[in-house]
Amino acid sequence: MATQKRPVKADLNIQAQILKQLPSPVMAVDKDMRIIYVNDSAMDMTEKPENEMIGKLCYSIFNTADCQTDACCMKKALITGESYSNRTEAIIKDEELNAEYYAVPLKDDDGKIIGGLEFIVDITKQVQYEQSLIEQSKTIHKLSTPTIKLWEGILVLPIIGVVDSIRAQNMMETMLDKIAETYSRVIILDIFGVAAVDTAVAQHLIKIAKATKLMGCDCILSGISPPVAQTIVQLGIDMESIHTKSTLADAFEEALEIMKLKVTEQ
């Protein structure tokens, strides 16, 4: 009869070396949050030797935005016995870095909490990349919703493609900024390039029109195609608060009337 082999366990020295040589900073604290262990990566991050860290309060070495607050994951782990993680900012070597850290409670054989273990990951480059993507996205949105000065006091915003909540918010911000910048009294919102209008899109357009009105600027909605007009009627959407015209030319003519202007041939 074959005998079942017992799994081979690493001895304590090898286990200690594994923790010591992990590429991410690791520290352990007692219940008073005084450091009782740091690995090589933690010493490399702080540029402090082990003897300058052992016995010190953890927040005096790893100074983060969560330290000494209720958001501190280590504090919560020591109280509840559960594991926690969070993103935060830290000041290390007088430099600010973004970090993601994980705190787990340390327990004795009886299950009593005797301290905590914390793993730290420097995500500064990742956060910078995410912020770069956000800025690029904002730039793309701005380029996709150009507000054009059509005449003195008259702006036009041609809309092409799909209008979602994010784009609608960006459109509103762009329009309001341009109105404030140019002191315009009329803005034409041309939706000729919008293939479909549903309830959500219509509500966005109504909100934009109301916002421009609060800025003392009349909003004219132009470019309403027959299919879009039928959809608005079928959905029962109230568009009475918005000036509507079928073409941009008609909208421009009404804008001139609002401005009490008239184009005449020489």
Say if 5 falls within a structural domain: no
Same domain (yes/no): 176, 221: yes
Same domain (yes/no): 105, 211: no
Say if 132 falls within a structural domain: no
- Using alpha carbons, select from 204, 205, 202, 173 the residue that is nearest to residue 189: 205
How far, rounded to the nearest angstrom, does the alpha carbon of residue 39 sit from its chain's CA centroid?
A: 33
* Cβ–Cβ < 8 Å for 254, 221: no
Residue 137 CB neighbours (<10 A): 12
Same domain (yes/no): 103, 151: no
CATH of the domain at 29: 3.30.450.20
Same domain (yes/no): 47, 149: no
Same domain (yes/no): 117, 177: no
Q: How confident is the model at residue 28 (pLDDT cuts 50, 70, 90)?
A: very high
Say if 106 falls within a structural domain: yes
30-82 per-position pLDDT tens digit: 999 999 999 998 998 888 999 999 999 999 888 889 999 999 999 999 999 99
Percent over 70 (pLDDT), the chain: 89
Find the helix or strand (DSSP H, E) in which 40 lies.
Answer: helix 40-46
CATH of the domain at 164: 3.30.750.24
- Residue 223, token pair as written in the block: 């470019």
Q: How confident is the model at residue 145 (pLDDT cuts 50, 70, 90)?
A: low
How far, rounded to the nearest angstrom, does the alpha carbon of residue 181 sit from its chain's CA centroid?
A: 27
* Cβ–Cβ < 8 Å for 87, 100: yes
* Residue after which a domain boundary falls, among 70, 100, 127: 127
Say if 61 falls within a structural domain: yes
Say if 133 falls within a structural domain: no
Same domain (yes/no): 166, 117: no
* Residue after which a domain boundary falls, among 127, 156, 176: 127
Q: How many domains does the chain divide into?
A: 2
Same domain (yes/no): 160, 218: yes
Same domain (yes/no): 35, 122: yes
Domain coverage including residue 207? 142-258
Kindly report which listed range (93-107, 138-152, 173-187, 231-245) carries the lowest average pLDDT score.
Answer: 138-152
Same domain (yes/no): 178, 242: yes
Same domain (yes/no): 115, 146: no
> What is the model's pTM?
0.51
Q: Which residues contact 154 (CB under 8 A, 6 or more apart)?
A: 184, 185, 186, 187, 188, 252, 255, 256, 259
194-238 per-position pLDDT tens digit: 877 777 888 888 888 888 889 889 999 998 878 778 877 887 777
Could you give the residue ranges of the DSSP H alpha helices within 47-198? 58-61, 73-80, 124-144, 165-182
Same domain (yes/no): 121, 18: yes
Say if 190 falls within a structural domain: yes
Say if 8 falls within a structural domain: no
Q: Among 1-10, 187-196, 246-255, name the most confident range.
A: 246-255
Find the helix or strand (DSSP H, E) in which 234 lies.
Answer: helix 226-235
* Residue after which a domain boundary falls, among 87, 102, 127: 127
DSSP 163: -
* Pairwise pLDDT comparison (93 vs 116), residue with the higher score: 116
* Cβ–Cβ < 8 Å for 154, 186: yes
Handedness of CA 89, 91, 97, 102 (dihedral sign): negative
Same domain (yes/no): 118, 214: no
